[in-house]
Structure 1
Protein backbone atom coordinates (compact mmCIF):
# COMPACT_ATOMS: atom_id res chain seq x y z
CA UNK A 1 0.00 0.00 0.00
CA UNK A 2 1.19 3.51 -0.79
CA UNK A 3 2.16 5.81 2.04
CA UNK A 4 0.08 8.76 0.82
CA UNK A 5 -3.61 8.80 -0.06
CA UNK A 6 -3.00 10.61 -3.35
CA UNK A 7 -1.02 7.57 -4.52
CA UNK A 8 -3.78 5.08 -3.63
CA UNK A 9 -5.99 5.81 -6.65
CA UNK A 10 -5.23 2.51 -8.39
CA UNK A 11 -5.71 0.28 -5.35
CA UNK A 12 -8.80 2.09 -4.06
CA UNK A 13 -11.33 -0.19 -5.79
CA UNK A 14 -10.30 -3.33 -3.93
CA UNK A 15 -9.62 -1.77 -0.54
CA UNK A 16 -12.43 0.74 -0.01
CA UNK A 17 -13.01 -0.31 3.62
CA UNK A 18 -9.40 0.37 4.53
CA UNK A 19 -9.50 3.73 2.74
CA UNK A 20 -12.61 4.78 4.65
CA UNK A 21 -10.87 4.03 7.97
CA UNK A 22 -7.98 6.30 6.94
CA UNK A 23 -10.25 9.26 6.18
CA UNK A 24 -12.79 8.82 8.98
CA UNK A 25 -12.76 11.85 11.31
CA UNK A 26 -10.01 13.75 9.47
CA UNK A 27 -7.56 15.91 11.38
CA UNK A 28 -5.38 17.07 8.48
CA UNK A 29 -5.92 18.31 4.92
CA UNK A 30 -3.45 18.18 2.02
CA UNK A 31 -2.50 21.58 0.63
CA UNK A 32 -1.48 19.95 -2.70
CA UNK A 33 -4.43 17.70 -3.60
CA UNK A 34 -7.16 18.64 -1.10
CA UNK A 35 -7.61 15.20 0.42
CA UNK A 36 -8.28 14.85 4.13
CA UNK A 37 -7.08 12.14 6.52
CA UNK A 38 -6.85 11.28 10.20
CA UNK A 39 -3.01 11.06 10.06
CA UNK A 40 -0.71 13.68 8.54
CA UNK A 41 1.68 10.95 7.36
CA UNK A 42 -0.94 9.94 4.77
CA UNK A 43 -0.83 13.31 2.95
CA UNK A 44 1.82 14.84 0.67
CA UNK A 45 1.57 18.43 2.04
CA UNK A 46 -0.40 18.12 5.30
CA UNK A 47 -1.81 20.93 7.39
CA UNK A 48 -3.80 20.56 10.57
CA UNK A 49 -7.47 21.34 10.03
CA UNK A 50 -7.57 23.07 13.42
CA UNK A 51 -4.73 25.44 12.49
CA UNK A 52 -6.28 26.11 9.08
CA UNK A 53 -9.55 27.09 10.78
CA UNK A 54 -7.72 29.53 13.07
CA UNK A 55 -6.10 31.29 10.09
CA UNK A 56 -9.39 31.98 8.33
Structure 2
Protein backbone atom coordinates (compact mmCIF):
# COMPACT_ATOMS: atom_id res chain seq x y z
CA UNK A 1 0.00 0.00 0.00
CA UNK A 2 1.22 3.49 -0.82
CA UNK A 3 2.35 5.53 2.15
CA UNK A 4 0.62 8.70 0.92
CA UNK A 5 -3.13 8.48 1.41
CA UNK A 6 -3.59 11.16 -1.25
CA UNK A 7 -2.45 8.65 -3.89
CA UNK A 8 -4.50 5.62 -2.76
CA UNK A 9 -7.89 6.23 -4.37
CA UNK A 10 -9.11 2.91 -5.87
CA UNK A 11 -6.70 0.63 -3.97
CA UNK A 12 -8.50 1.59 -0.76
CA UNK A 13 -11.27 -1.01 -1.19
CA UNK A 14 -9.05 -4.04 -0.56
CA UNK A 15 -6.96 -2.34 2.11
CA UNK A 16 -9.65 -0.86 4.37
CA UNK A 17 -8.31 -2.30 7.68
CA UNK A 18 -4.82 -0.92 6.92
CA UNK A 19 -6.30 2.45 5.97
CA UNK A 20 -8.25 2.66 9.22
CA UNK A 21 -5.03 2.18 11.21
CA UNK A 22 -3.50 5.17 9.39
CA UNK A 23 -6.41 7.54 10.10
CA UNK A 24 -7.97 6.41 13.40
CA UNK A 25 -6.34 9.21 15.47
CA UNK A 26 -5.69 12.01 12.96
CA UNK A 27 -3.17 14.70 13.87
CA UNK A 28 -2.45 16.01 10.37
CA UNK A 29 -4.58 17.24 7.47
CA UNK A 30 -3.52 17.49 3.80
CA UNK A 31 -3.83 21.07 2.59
CA UNK A 32 -4.26 19.81 -1.00
CA UNK A 33 -7.10 17.30 -0.71
CA UNK A 34 -8.35 17.48 2.89
CA UNK A 35 -7.52 13.91 3.90
CA UNK A 36 -6.40 13.31 7.49
CA UNK A 37 -3.79 10.94 8.95
CA UNK A 38 -2.02 10.01 12.16
CA UNK A 39 1.44 10.78 10.69
CA UNK A 40 2.51 13.55 8.33
CA UNK A 41 4.48 11.12 6.15
CA UNK A 42 1.14 9.69 4.97
CA UNK A 43 0.03 12.97 3.32
CA UNK A 44 1.50 14.91 0.40
CA UNK A 45 1.01 18.42 1.92
CA UNK A 46 0.56 17.85 5.67
CA UNK A 47 -0.24 20.46 8.26
CA UNK A 48 -0.65 19.75 11.96
CA UNK A 49 -4.25 19.98 13.13
CA UNK A 50 -4.87 22.32 16.04
CA UNK A 51 -6.23 20.94 19.26
CA UNK A 52 -9.29 22.44 20.92
- How many residue pairs match? The answer is 52
Higher-Rg member (1/2)? 1
1:22 and 2:22 equivalent?
A: yes
What runs of 5+ residues in structure 2 fail to find an aligned partner? none
Unaligned runs of 5+ in 1: none
TM-score (norm 1): 0.84
Relative contact order higher in (CA < 8 Å, ≥ 6 apart): 2
Runs of at least 4 residues off by over 2 Å: none
- Equivalent residue number for residue 8 of structure 1: 8
Q: Distance in 1 between matches of 2:6 and 2:25?
A: 18
Greater displacement, 2-11 / 21-30: 2-11
TM-score (norm 2): 0.89
**Structure 2 residue 25 is matched with structure 1 residue 47:** no
In angstroms, what is the RMSD of aligned CA positions?
1.5
Whether 1:32 and 2:32 are equivalent positions in the alignment is yes
